[in-house]
Amino acid sequence: MNYQHAFHAGNFADVHKHVVLVRILVYLRQKPAAFRVIDTHAGPGRYDLFAEEPTRTGEWRDGIARIWKDGGPRFPPGPAQQLLAPYLDAVAASNSDGVLRTYPGSPLIAQGLLRPQDRLIACELEPRSAARLKAVLRGDRRAKALAIDGWTAIGAYVPPKERRGLVLVDPPFEDQAEVMRMSEALAAAYRKWPGGIYLLWYPIKTREVADMLARRLRRLGLGKALRCEIAVRPPSADAGLAGSGLVVVNPPFTLEADLRVLLPALLGSLAPPAARGWQRLDWLASSLATFP
């Protein structure tokens, strides 16, 4: 699967991934101690939704546009809206006039939630995206853009000196070898920093990639690993991207409860009623979890 992100910016998978990213960062901000975010496959940082690639696919219209309207969020009032508010605020910060034209990538979202004592390392190897990322983060001493391979970065920057923080691993999944790279990189990082939070994203086109990754992660002996999936249609080999998957290693203790509120609300907004969308929230590893 070739997942060139400029074509997919702001789609349902981005909404899913970034909502969970923000909930983790909100949790980390609750304690005064500094934290670090390591974004291994950061991309350019910001996406023009009316550029050639997103215009060609229009995927953002079935993603962020479903929970946003010009002037503010479209989500109905209630607990889910409260949990979504920091994410929607991050989108609003990139669209100051209230008209949705720009979608923030994960490094820009993370940057917006840093406090003075926190730090961000955003890694991107592709030259044009790396140059754009550097421009997006320029002038912020808390954030550093590095033109480095994301898999190399995990080994080089874990553990961070803050000893608190998050590693976001969001590779392009150009082939199934990314599953092996992801599990091997996590295993090495976890040995060095077993207390870190790791957020892993994977596409769901068929169940093959998702189930392969789950099997490999189960064999790693992780303490806690929460799996969170959302799909807007049943997986099919010829149907394109059907779903978005996340695994959170060492999730904040509040995250499972947050997601039990958020996932049904997101699915109701992002999946057309006749599309037979679905959600999954379960534990791949946890001695304390109650398995559904």
Q: In the chain, which residue ranges form alpha helices assigned H by DSSP? A: 12-28, 52-57, 79-93, 106-112, 127-137, 150-157, 177-192, 207-218, 255-270
Structure tokens, 47: 């996406």
**Catalytic residue (choose from 14, 39, 170, 258):** 170
Q: 22: which residues sit within 8 A by CB, 6+ positions away?
A: 86, 87, 90, 109, 113
Strand-strand pairing, 102-104 and 46-48: antiparallel
Q: What three-state secondary structure class fits 185?
A: helix
Supply 2's token pair: 């070739």
Terminal-to-terminal C-alpha distance of the chain = 31
Nearest to 106 by CA among 69, 76, 71, 133: 133
Q: Which residues lie closer than 8 Å to 197 by C-beta, 6 or more apart?
A: 24, 28, 165, 166, 167, 248, 249, 250, 251, 252
Residue 175 annotated among the catalytic residues of the structure: no
Q: Which residues are catalytic?
A: 170
